[in-house]
Amino acid sequence: MKNSQTKEKLVELVSILGVGIIGFGLGAFLSIYFQPFSPLIILIGIALHGVAMYQKSRTRTKDFLWVRFLYWLCWLIIAGLTIFIISRLI
């Protein structure tokens, strides 16, 4: 049972990595057209990621100390990016 769960997680990770690479490639390819909207696109991505990670953390039954540390570190990075982007827009 554990082996199939590990394989499922690995497949999910590779899928997410593939989507990220596709997104990066599309961003590079279409950068000229979407550059004026890039701060808004980044903020939408941050919001979606934040909501998803919050919901995922609520469904976990056991939490290790390092998982909680990475969770809050991610939120600090998201807050810093958001402040940076908003300050650049103003």
Cα separation, 85 vs 63, whole angstroms: 31
Give the position of tokens 């827009």.
89
Longest pairwise C-alpha distance within the chain: 53
- Domain of residue 64: give its range: 2-89
Count of domains for the chain:
1
Give pLDDT tens digits along the chain (90 positions): 577 778 888 888 888 888 888 888 888 888 888 888 888 888 888 888 888 877 777 776 566 777 778 888 888 988 888 888 888 877
- State residue 62's pLDDT score: 66
Radius of gyration for the chain, computed over Cα atoms and rounded to the nearest angstrom: 16
Asked if 82 contacts 43 with a C-beta cutoff of 8 angstroms, the reply is: yes
Helix (H, G, I), strand (E, B) or coil at 64: coil
- Joined together, the tokens standing for residue 63 give 């939490």
Does the predicted TM-score (pTM) go above 0.85? no
